[in-house]
Structure formats: structure tokens, C-alpha cells
Amino acid sequence: MKPFTFIHAADLHLDSPMLGLGRLEPRVQGRLRDASLEAFDRLIDLTLKTNAAFLAMAGDVFDHETPSLRAQFRLLDGMRRLEQASVPVFWAHGNHDPFGSLSTHVHWPDNVVRFPAGRVSWQRVERAEDILCAVYGISYPTAAVTEPYARQFLREDDAPFAVAVLHANVGGQPGHDNYAPASLGDLRAAGFNYWALGHIHHRGTLSDDPPVVYAGNLQGRHVRETGHKGAYVVEVDAAGRTRLTFAPLGPVRWELLNVDCDGFSGWDQVEEKALAALEPLRPAPHESGVVVRIQLSGRANLPFDADALGDLAERLSSDPERDGPFCFVESIENRTRRPRQGTQPEGLWAEVISRIRGPAYDNWNPAQVRLPLDREAARSEALRLLADALDEVEPDAN
């Protein structure tokens, strides 16, 4: 067979906003907003640069069922660039951009193959009259798909190599919606040479033979999606062996930074240590910026002062030149505890600790506000508040 290269990308979430930002500064707002689109442009550049035979997008290309026209046209521009280079694009729709309810207003060029909803279809990829491979895929008709789509994949082609494109939760990974549930065994049994998966935003290889790969998303969207994000360049040699190279494409990187403040009693100490910790996280040459959330830990006699935390976040954020790389500290969480004392809690304080950790507040719902509440964090914060106010010391965690 002819060796070839293809690009495996997933979860582009074009035009997705950054989620859970503690604050937003005008100087970085535009770049945060455009990060997913810029990552997509880099994906197209990568596809062209590697002379890829095709581009596989394993779902959630758009973040929203009604994507902005800006995002639609950005995608259209990229597809047209690939069309000019005769590079086909295989698009399996996922739960964020289901085939049936995705509302777009552009006409995709002929090189874009959108897999039909609820039914596996396939297409050959040829180059210079050589059949390189066959690409199979299936799209979500609606946002929530609970059918095991992977079991529909059966090879029907005579190509020397076959790629399956699927947006699914393989192995029931926690923390993710269990859409199109599949087991690794299902995938191995289908006889494909490469499984290009989407849905799980942390890239990873579930299996080496055949490669069952999550490409992860193209651009981190919140603090739980830290580190470099991008796509895989998959090189297939004449023997059908694959070699995966991760290409970081996301222009903005999320990082979660822990700063141990044990023994600190002033914000200056915190600032000094945080600055030192931030230094290694500065943007790489291919990145336009880093968004950092700092968590302060340890036992320190620091007041629980939200304004002070906000001020410190601003101080720690670099002040780059216009369009220069930035390091944006979006928030600082104070998880320190007051310094330990020798005495055991007694009297009212013991009563407070007992009550606040008791079962009465396991399902506490303080207000009819449509916002998620981290009850454990609220308990910890309340305990710290009370310790500050009553001049007591929080005990060690249970």
C-alpha cells in the first residue's frame, strides 16, 4: 500500500467561550474569544503543510447548535482551502453539533463529507489513482445519543487501510456524558486499522493495536482542560503501521497552579512565590497566551479577602504589549487554613466544627439561584470564615 498521512482532530468546539473565567480583561478578551478559531486555522495549516491525504474531525466541530456566522464562515474558509488542495474532510457530528439540529447558513464545498446521522457510511480516499484507505463514520442525529454506535461499524471496503471516525465515550469514562457508549472490545472487533475518536477532551491512546485514539480538543476551554491541546498527525507506512505525532495547535493554554503558602502571613510572600511559580508556565512560541488559575494552599494566616485575591490576580497577570503573548491569571482561590494550634477545639468552636461537618448540610440548598454550588467548598470556606471571625483555627480535614 501507499504510505500516507492524515490528520485526526476532534472536539474543535469552534467559537466556544472560555468557561468559568473568574474575571475578564479587555486586553485578552478578543484573543480568548478567537482562540478556538485560531486553533482551527492552524489545523488547516497543519493539514496542508503535512500534505495530508484527508482530515478527520471526530465530532463537536461547533460548540453550539446555532453557531455564530463568524464561526461558520471561518470553517467554510478552511474547508475551501482544503478543497483547493484536493484534501477531503470527514466530519462526524457529535453531541454539540448534531446533524439533525445543527443550524448553519453556508454551503459546504464538495470535499466535505458529512457522515449521515445514525448510520455508518464510508468513502474511499484515493490519490493518483491509488486507493489509500477507506474512511467510515457516523453522525449524531440529536445531542444525546445512547445507542452503541460502535457496533454498527463493519468493514465493507477492499482498501488496504480503514479509519473509523466516531464521537463516543469508550469505556464509560467518568466526568463525561456517556454518549454512544462503546467498549474497547467492540472497537477492536470491528477490524479497523485506526479509530479516530472524539468526545473526551483529554487526548490519549486507549489501544495501540489497532490504535484507538482520542485526539482531545483543539483548544482548552476551561481550567480542567489544561496543557497543550491540538491534533494528531497520523503517518501510515507501506506496511500499514501508524506513527502518531501530537501537534499542539491551541493558541491559549489553560494552567492550574498550586502555590503552597504554608507559614505565610502576608500577601507579599504569596505574590513572590506565585511569580516564581508562574515563570515556567509562560507562553510557548506558538502560543499567544496562558490562562492560569492559582490555588493557594497550606496553613497561613491570610485573611479571607476576595478583593485582595482579585487585586493579586491582576498584579500577577503579565501586562504584555498589544497582541503580544500574555499570562492571564483569571482567579486565585484561597484554600489555605489558619496555622495549627495545640489546643483541641472546645466549647462553641467544637460545636461549630461538629455542625458544619455534620450531615445536616450535605444537601444544603441556600437559595433558588440557578447556579451550581460546591457544597464541600462552601463548608470549607464557611469554616475558614468562622475561624477568622472567632479567632479560631480550622482543624485538619477529617
Partner 1 sequence: MRIKTVRSLGYGPLPDGFQMSLDATGLIPLVGPNEAGKSSLLNLLRALLYKDRRNNVREAEGGRLEVEMDDGTVIHAERRGQRHRVFDAQGRAVAEDEWERKLAADYKVFENVYAFGLGELERGESLDAKTVGARLISAGLGVHVDVVKVESTLQLRARELYAPRGVKPPLNVALADIRRLEDEIARGEAELSRYDALQAELAAVEEQASAASDEERQAAADRKRLADMDRIWERFERLRSVMREQAALSHARDIGPELIARFQRLRDQLEASRTRAAAQEERVLQARLALPAPERLHAFRRPEWVAIMEEAREIPDWKRDIDRHRGAAEELWTQMTAESERLGITPERLAAGMAVRVIEPQMDALHQARADARRNTAEAERALSEAEREVAETDALLDGLREIPRREEWSARRARLEALFARPRPAVDGPWFLWAAAVLLALVGAGLARSFLGAVVDAGAAAAALAGLVLSLMRRSARSHDALSAAGVSSWDRLPAERLYWDELGARVTDREQAEERLARARRAVDGARAVLLEARRQQGTAERAYVEGRAGAELPDLEGPELQHWLSRVDDALHTVSQYRRAREQMADVERTRARFLDRAAAAAVLLHLEVQDTHSPDTWWRLRQEWLDIPTREETLRGQEADAEGARTDALRDARLLAECLQDLDVPDAGAAAARVSEALQYEALAREAMGLQAELSAASHGQGVEAFLPYQDVGLEGALEAQRVRFDEIRAARQERQQQAAVLRQRLSLLETSGELSDLRLQAEARRGEARRLYQRWAAYTLAAQVLQESREHFQRERQPEVLRRASSLFASFTAGRYLHVLAQADSVHDLAVELSDGRRYPVEELSRGTQEQLYLALRLAWIEDREQHAERMPLVLDDILVNADPEREQVMARTLVRFAQNRQVLYLTCHPEIERSLKRAKSRKAVPLASLAGAR
Residues engaged in binding partner 1 (CB under 8 A): 15-24, 29-30, 32-34, 64, 66, 68-71, 73, 103, 105, 306, 331, 341-343, 346-349, 351-352, 355-356, 361, 364, 366-369, 371-375, 377-379, 381-386, 389-392
242-248/204-208 β-pairing: unpaired
What minimum distance in Å lies between the beta carbon of 294 and partner 1?
Answer: 14
26-49 vs 69-84: helix crossing angle, rounded to 10: 20
Q: Nearest to residue 327, comparing CAs of 336, 335, 317, 337? A: 317
DSSP state of 367: S
CB atoms near residue 108 (< 10 Å): 17
Residue among 92 and 290 whose Cβ is closer to partner 1: 290
What minimum distance in Å lies between the beta carbon of 184 and partner 1?
Answer: 34
Residue among 237 and 305 whose Cβ is closer to partner 1: 305
CA gyration radius, the chain? 25
Residue among 8 and 337 whose Cβ is closer to partner 1: 337
- Residue 389's Cβ-count burial label (10 Å; 0-12, 13-18, 19+) is exposed
Residue among 1 and 24 whose Cβ is closer to partner 1: 24
Residue among 5 and 226 whose Cβ is closer to partner 1: 226
- Residue 158's Cβ-count burial label (10 Å; 0-12, 13-18, 19+) is exposed
What minimum distance in Å lies between the beta carbon of 76 and partner 1?
Answer: 10
Residue among 229 and 293 whose Cβ is closer to partner 1: 293
What minimum distance in Å lies between the beta carbon of 383 and partner 1?
Answer: 8
What minimum distance in Å lies between the beta carbon of 240 and partner 1?
Answer: 42
Query: What would the grid cell of residue 146 be?
Result: 445512547
Residue among 42 and 203 whose Cβ is closer to partner 1: 42
DSSP state of 194: E
Is there a contact between 27 and 77 (Cβ–Cβ < 8 Å)?
A: no
DSSP state of 139: B
What minimum distance in Å lies between the beta carbon of 358 and partner 1?
Answer: 9
What minimum distance in Å lies between the beta carbon of 17 and partner 1?
Answer: 4
What minimum distance in Å lies between the beta carbon of 334 and partner 1?
Answer: 11
Residue among 23 and 176 whose Cβ is closer to partner 1: 23
Sheet with 130-137, edge to edge strand ranges: 121-127, 130-137, 162-167, 194-198, 211-214, 204-208
**In angstroms, rounded to a whole number, what is the distance separating the alpha carbons of residues 246 and 228?**
10
